Amino acid sequence: MTLLLFKLRGVPEDEADEVRELLTAQDIDFYETSAGNWGMSMPALWLRDAVDLEKARYLLNDYQQQRFLTSREDYLQRKKSHQQQTWLKSFKEKLSLYCAYLFAMGLVIYVSVKLLLELGL
C-alpha cells in the first residue's frame, strides 16, 4: 500500500531535489507524481512500503528542521547587512513593471465603469 510522504505543491525545486536525494541515499523506495498537464493532480512523493514510513518521517523532520535553521540564519545575516529584499527595493528595481500593472488595472476599471454607464445600469 502506498503512503503519502511529502506534498510538492509550492515547494522550491532545490528543496524537492534535496528530499529526493535524502530518500535515495537512505535506500527508501519512493515514487513521485506530477501535477499533470493542467496542474490539477497532486505533485507529491509517495512511499511504496509502509515499513519505511517511520524512518522517512524522522529523516524528513530532521531535514526540515535543519533547513529552517539555515534559512533563518541566512535571513538574519541579510537583514543585519541590509541586503534583505523589501517591498520598496523591489518597487524601485521593477518600476516599469509596476507602472504597467497599474495602467492595466486602471484600464480594466475604466472600461468596466464606462460599459456600465453606457448601458444605464
- Confidence category of residue 90, pLDDT binned at 50, 70, 90: confident
Q: Which amino acid is at 57?
A: R
- Mean per-residue pLDDT for 96-116? 95
Give the whole-angstrom CA distance, residue 58 versus residue 84: 32
Considering the domain architecture, whether residues 60 and 116 belong to the same structural domain is answered as: no
Give the whole-angstrom CA distance, residue 120 versus residue 113: 11
**Contact (CB, 8 A) for 50 and 30:** no
Counting the structural domains of the chain, the total is 2
Considering the domain architecture, whether residues 63 and 51 belong to the same structural domain is answered as: yes
Considering the domain architecture, whether residues 42 and 66 belong to the same structural domain is answered as: yes
Considering the domain architecture, whether residues 92 and 49 belong to the same structural domain is answered as: no
Considering the domain architecture, whether residues 30 and 78 belong to the same structural domain is answered as: yes
Considering the domain architecture, whether residues 42 and 95 belong to the same structural domain is answered as: no
- Confidence category of residue 48, pLDDT binned at 50, 70, 90: very high
- pTM of the full predicted structure? 0.69
The boundaries of the domain holding residue 75 are: 1-84
